[in-house]
């Protein structure tokens, strides 16, 4: 299977804290990968490294064999990776439709000439994405007035408008009700069916076990296990990391 | 009162409308709050005054240079915004206003505190413009400003600026090159302000460092906040009303700064979107009223 994204010996140290410590991982094209681990395992840091918000202390990140580490976030977006935020960050002063248009515009922002085009012309495409994510009826509402479930959909809608090859979802199920989670699963499966590779970071084990075909477990910045849900769930090291053997730390969810 | 008085009031209203619309791009769209906008205004005024008095250019020949030079200096003065934001940016724009004012005052190249006098009125059709001519000229520039900035408000450029102003981190993940768009906002905003400055210099006939001081920046920001940040209609209304009040009630003249300061505080506290901004009480009311007249369905809760 071809690797869409690969990291080699990926490290990020904050002073003495080794947030990510020598992670090798590969993201298979067309599949759903889950990255799990206890609090502080370095999951979100991995996302931030891939997206270019942090520069790796060491190691490399390759997208389709091309190095992307060290690039600015807006350049990485143009290379075909999109992300959603764990704590939703809608542009609150803009409508739902305008939020998606901001993302859709990524293809125009690079060249100064195309900045002078009218964004209204892309409304049709943006509406299609809103339809796909179940937000079409709410297109004119200010993004700030959406309930949390729909704000998460909006995050995903913006991600899709970036036309990515790889979509990174940072805790997409956090704070959602069971019904909303079921809908989210359907949406994620539809996204993968549309040919977009999805990688998600998640706390809810049931969610990850259900939807992911492959799982990577991080603990204290290191990769401690990888495999399909069943293998990972029965891995003694994973169980120890989650339940804690000595310190008796709480398991998440 | 003679017609000349009304024309003069009209010219200044026009100039300040252009200024407020120019600040709207920087502060309304890109959310880079500037309390130093008078500096850009002054750079435009000084550039045009010096090119026409010292270098013998006409108003029309100087105008393209004014636009290019103010856009360029605006870009330079906008560089701090790449490093600082929010309250710290406001402080540094105040500092820039004082620096620019100081440069005008202390360098003899710019005429020092004596300023530059004898700035010629523009000529059209072979003769210098009179009061009525100048009013029409200002009006023409105002209409151009409204049309071009209205067009800009519909472009990807404005959408990216708006997103960047709201949340830089999210904007980056939408493919927006934040430093580039901040620079654009400063360049575009100061180019418009430069035009307003040139109109001012050639109308008044002289420029002095004191014309472009910090209180003027406060006045411009007050107009924008009063009318409604982020909208052209708000910028226009703010400039119009805040130029009109002191003319209607002469006694306000001496307390102008007090009024501007008070308006800033009251509006930010009770109507941060201004009189006609998106989501303001008055604008929502007008929209509701418009829908009612048209007989369309009245939607609740779409504030």
**DSSP H helical ranges for A56-111:** 73-79, 96-104, 106-109
A6-63: per-residue pLDDT in tens? 999 999 999 889 999 999 999 999 999 999 988 888 999 999 999 999 999 999 999 9
CB contact under 8 A, A91 and B163: yes
Sequence-ordered strand ranges (E) for A132-233: 166-170, 197-201, 214-219, 222-227
A142: contact with B, CB 8 A cutoff:
yes
For residue B99, give the H/E element and its range. helix B87-106
B303: contact with A, CB 8 A cutoff:
yes
Residue A87 token pair: 């704590």
A144: contact with B, CB 8 A cutoff:
no
CB contact under 8 A, A106 and B173: no
ipTM above 0.90, yes or no: no
Residues of B in contact with A110 (CB under 8 A): 175, 177
- pTM of the model as a whole: 0.89
Measuring CA to CA, how many Å separate A183 from each of A193, B31, B281? 15, 36, 37
pLDDT tens digits, chain B, 303 residues: what are they? 588 899 999 999 999 999 999 999 999 999 999 999 999 999 999 999 999 999 999 999 999 999 999 999 999 999 988 888 788 999 999 999 999 999 999 998 999 889 999 999 998 888 888 899 999 999 999 999 999 999 999 999 999 999 999 999 999 999 999 999 999 999 999 999 999 999 999 999 999 999 999 999 999 999 999 999 999 999 999 999 998 888 887 777 778 888 888 888 998 888 888 999 888 889 989 988 998 888 765 554 443
A175: contact with B, CB 8 A cutoff:
no
> Given the DSSP bridges, would you call strands A32-36 and A58-63 parallel, antiparallel or unpaired?
unpaired
**DSSP H helical ranges for B3-86:** 3-23, 37-53, 59-78
Q: How many angstroms separate the CA atoms of B302 and A152, rounded?
A: 20
Nearest residue in B to A105, CA atom: B156
CB contact under 8 A, B155 and A116: yes
């Amino acid at each position: 299977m071809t690797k869409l994204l690969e990291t080699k010996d990926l490290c990020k140290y904050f002073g003495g804290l080794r947030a990510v410590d020598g992670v090798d991982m590969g993201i298979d094209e067309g599949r759903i990968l889950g990255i799990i681990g206890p609090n502080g395992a370095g999951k979100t840091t991995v996302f931030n490294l891939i997206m270019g918000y942090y520069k790796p202390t060491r190691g490399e990140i390759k997208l389709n064999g091309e190095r992307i580490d060290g690039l600015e976030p807006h350049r990485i977006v143009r290379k075909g990776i999109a992300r959603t935020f764990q704590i939703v960050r809608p542009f609150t002063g803009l409508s739902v439709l305008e939020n998606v248009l901001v993302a859709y515009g990524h293809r125009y922002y690079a060249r100064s000439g195309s900045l002078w085009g009218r964004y209204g012309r892309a409304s049709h495409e943006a509406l299609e994405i809103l339809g796909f994510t179940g937000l079409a009826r709410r297109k004119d509402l200010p993004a700030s007035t959406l309930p949390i479930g729909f704000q998460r959909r909006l995050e995903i809608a913006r991600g899709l408008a970036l036309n990515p090859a790889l979509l990174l979802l940072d805790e997409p199920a956090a704070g959602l009700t069971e019904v909303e989670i079921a809908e989210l699963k359907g949406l994620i499966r539809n996204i993968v069916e549309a040919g977009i590779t999805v990688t998600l970071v998640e706390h809810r084990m049931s969610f990850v076990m259900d939807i992911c075909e492959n799982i990577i477990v991080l603990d204290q910045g290191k990769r401690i296990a990888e495999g399909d849900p069943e293998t990972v769930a029965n891995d003694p090291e994973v169980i120890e990391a989650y339940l804690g053997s000595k310190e008796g730390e709480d398991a998440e969810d | 009162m003679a017609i000349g008085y009304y024309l003069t009031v009209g010219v200044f209203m026009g100039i300040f409308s252009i200024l407020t619309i120019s600040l709207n791009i920087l502060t309304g769209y890109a959310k880079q709050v500037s309390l130093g906008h008078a500096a850009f205004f002054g750079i435009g005024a000084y550039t045009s005054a010096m090119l026409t008095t010292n270098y013998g250019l006409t108003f029309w020949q100087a105008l393209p240079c004014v636009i290019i030079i103010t856009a360029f200096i605006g870009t330079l003065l906008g560089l701090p915004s790449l490093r600082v934001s929010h309250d710290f940016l406001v402080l540094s724009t105040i500092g820039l206003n004082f620096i620019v004012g100081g440069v005008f005052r202390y360098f003899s190249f710019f005429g020092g505190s004596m300023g530059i006098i004898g700035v010629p009125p523009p000529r059209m059709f072979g003769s210098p413009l009179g009061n009525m001519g100048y009013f029409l000229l200002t009006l023409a520039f105002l209409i151009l400003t409204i049309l071009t900035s209205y067009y800009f408000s519909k472009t990807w450029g404005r959408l990216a600026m708006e997103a960047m102003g709201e949340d830089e981190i999210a904007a980056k993940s939408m493919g927006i090159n934040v430093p580039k768009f901040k620079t654009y906002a400063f360049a575009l905003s100061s180019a418009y302000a430069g035009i307003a400055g040139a109109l001012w210099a050639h109308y008044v006939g002289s420029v002095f460092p004191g014309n472009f001081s910090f209180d003027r920046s406060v006045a411009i920001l007050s107009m924008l906040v009063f009318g409604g940040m982020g909208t052209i209609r708000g910028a226009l209304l703010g400039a119009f009303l805040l130029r009109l009040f002191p003319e209607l009630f002469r006694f306000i003249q001496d307390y102008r700064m007090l009024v501007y300061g008070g308006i800033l505080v009251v509006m930010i506290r009770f109507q941060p979107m201004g009189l006609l901004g998106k989501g303001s009480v008055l604008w929502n009311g007008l929209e509701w009223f418009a829908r009612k007249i048209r007989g369309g369905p009245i939607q609740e809760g779409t504030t």
